[in-house]
Each structure stands twice: as structure tokens, then as C-alpha cells.
Amino acid sequence: MNDNKRELFRNLEKFYPPKGSLRILEVGCGSGANFEHYPTGCRITCTDPNPHFQQYLKESMAKNDHLVYDNFIVASGENLKAVEDNSVDVVVCTLVLCSVQDTLMVLREAQRVLRPGGAFFFLEHVVSDPSSWVYFFQHVFRPIWYFFGDGCEITRATWKHLEAAGFSDLQLRHIQTPLFVLLRPHIVVKVLILPLYIAEVTGLLSFYKRVFPLLVYKMSFSYNNKMNDKKRELFRNLEKFYPPKGSLRILEVGCGSGANFEHYPTGCRITCTDPNPHFQKYLKKSMAKNDHLVYDSFIVASGENLKAVEDNSVDVVVCTLVLCSVQDTPKVLQEAKRVLRPGGAFFFLEHVVSDPASWVYFFQHVFQPFWYYFGDGCETTRATWKHLEASGFSDLQLRHVQPPLFFMIRPHIVGYAVK
């Protein structure tokens, strides 16, 4: 990684203050592997939650005596309270965001301690493209990697957090470095998934998109029976968001076969969207059964692109079992906020990743590659609540629940967020 690091840290010269030395805060410094790349005279503050790194850090400091070392702070990236606001020129984070508990909190802390015009430097391994073999192996071996890598996760799309963090300028590149890829020892698993991969590449899997709506329609009856209490409790809150005049206007994103319609109050005006046009046949059946509602239109659109819906035009956006499969969760939430009137609400019910210490978490990652193909892009390993917490709604009512469902999708979040 020397060439990549040299190229990255060459940019440090852009962030020198008008007077004095460059002040660098390295978060998760480890053994000080970056020190050799810092310019002479820089003042370094190091933080790491593991105090046992200090012994090896001192060795790196001795080798790199061209730097000035201010102090070593035992602290996680989420809690840098020992560092003052606007006190450093650069924050460096390399191979750290893969193991922190809350990536967005680390980025907020970095922004707090950086002076205006300062920069956050990063070099992180991330999850691969979902259609690649690397993606498959990352999820299969993720639980083992987590335990032996001190909480390291190889399935994070860290670039999404960086894009959502609110920096004024983001210079980000995806690169492929010559590092360990987990290939030869896993030929058996590779053969198991090969037919699915070939089917997707050749387009044969697109036929499944025609069958998938029927499967969802059939499964929705079982899901609704088990989730009726949760749904009734959730949608009872719809009455809080009626406009002063007229009917409640609901936009359902990823409506599927219309499994939520029975829970909506009489007279609501419903606009439905789904990226799969083949759901419309089953949607019409649900509409016929639920004639207490007024159906305005069905729009073939993804949750990331609701341009057919005007700004501030609906009272409620509903999203159930959708955020598990969208391409860009923050973008969906931005679109929801755009179309909601001020004071409107985003209602959600989503299965999420389990606690990392649980067996459910292990199996969610092991079977995720299979689940992805058979679930039409559904992912069981998403911590969707983090996106909701970071999306900027004025009020977030969110609960974690464990309904009586198949163990892989048992962990759920439910609630609503007010614009």
C-alpha cells in the first residue's frame, strides 16, 4: 500500500495553517504505520481504544523522529472529547472505519475537532460489488473475520457514510489493491453459488422478477398474520398526520402487493410506487379487497428516484420491507423528506441485522449471498436504523422488536420519523 499512501498523504501540504506546524490527529493510530508518510515537523496526536498499542507505537515514534508527538489518548473514534473543537488541521483514519461501532458518529467527531478548511484523510477497505465473487466471500467469512479481527467488518459500504457526512468537498476513489482476497481455500462454496451468478450475468435471472411478485403476494398473508399487531400499533399513529383539510395523502414506496392497505384509515388517498411493474397484477387484487381507500396512481419507480412525485405533496410516506433491498438508503430517505409536507411523517417497518454477538448475525452473513439472489436483492445484514438516525428528521420514534418470524429476518425496527 506504500504507493497509495504516498499518493494520499502528498495532499497534506494543502492543509498547512497560515502559521506554525501541521497538526494531525490520527484516530485509531494502531502501531503508527502512517508516520513515515507525514511531512517533517508535523505535530501528531494519536488516539486508539486499545492501550496495548502504545508499546509498538513508541517503536514507530523512535523510527520516525522527524515528527513531533504531542500525546497518546486512549479513546474510541466516537468519543474524542479530550480533543478540543477546531483544534487540528487534519484527521487521519486508515483501516479504522471498518471496526468502529458508529461510523457516522466518528465522522461527526472528526468534523468537530477539525478547524474550518481542515481535512479528513481516509484509506479503508470496503464491501465489494454485489455481483462479484469477493462480495460473496466477504459475507461468508465475515463472522469469522469479525471475531479474529477485533471487530473488523469487511462488508461495510463506508463511502455512503462519507457521502452523507456533510463535508464541503469529498475527494473519493475506489481502488483495487493487491491484498488478500480469500480465493483458493473456498472452491466448494464458489461452485455452490456459480449457477446463480451465471444466471444473473446472462440475464436469465430477470425471469425471476416476474415470479417474485407472486411469491411475495403468497408470503404476505403469512407475514401479515404474524405482524398484524405490530402493523396495527404502527399505523394507529397515522391519525396524528392528517392535514387541516381533506384526506390523508399516503405515498407507499415499494408497495409490492399492497399488504398494508387493510391498516390504512377509510378515505385515505394512496399513491403506490414500485420498481417492479409485475406487482401491479397483485396490487389490483389488494385494491379490490380494500375499497375503503382511494387509489390515485401506481408509479413504476425506485425509492431513490421519486421525481414523478412533487415536493411537499404528501402527508405520509410508508416504507415496509423495502430499505433492505434499495441501492442507496440515504437517497431514499432524502426523497421521502422531499415529497413530505412539513410536519409529515415517514413510517417504516424493516428487518435489520442482528446483534454481532448472536448466532443470528453469523447466519445472516453466511447465507446473505444466497438470500440476495432469491430475495431480489434483499440484504439481511443492514443496520438501517443508523441511516434513519443520520437522516435529519426532526423527530424519530424507533423501536427494535423481535417478531415471531424466520430467524434470519426476526430482528426488526419499527416506527416513524417526522419531517
pLDDT for 178 equals 61
| Distance in angstroms (rounded) separating the CA atoms of residues 284 and 290 | 10
pLDDT for 400 equals 96
pLDDT for 189 equals 33
Report the 10 Å Cβ neighbour count for 325. 17
Same structural domain for residues 95 and 244?
Answer: no
Averages of pLDDT over runs of 10 residues in the chain (419 residues) are 85 92 94 92 93 86 93 92 94 91 92 93 86 78 74 86 89 72 31 49 57 59 81 95 95 92 96 89 90 94 93 96 92 96 97 89 82 80 93 95 91 96
DSSP 8-state class, residue 307: T
Q: What sign for the dihedral angle of Cα 325, 175, 334, 281?
A: negative
Q: Where is the domain boundary, 124, 139, 166?
A: 124
Pull the grid cell for residue 374.
432469491
| Distance in angstroms (rounded) separating the CA atoms of residues 302 and 365 | 25
pLDDT for 218 equals 63
Count of the separate structural domains present in the chain: 2
Same structural domain for residues 364 and 233?
Answer: yes
Give the CATH number, domain containing residue 375: 3.40.50.150
Maximum separation of any 2 CA atoms in the chain, in Å: 77
Considering the entire predicted model, what is its pTM?
A: 0.59
* Burial environment of residue 150 by CB neighbours within 10 A (0 to 12, 13 to 18, 19 or more): exposed
Give the residue numbers spanning the domain of 234. 205-418
Same structural domain for residues 249 and 371?
Answer: yes
Residue 9 identity (one-letter amino acid): F
Pull the grid cell for residue 387.
441511516
Q: Where is the domain boundary, 104, 124, 144?
A: 124
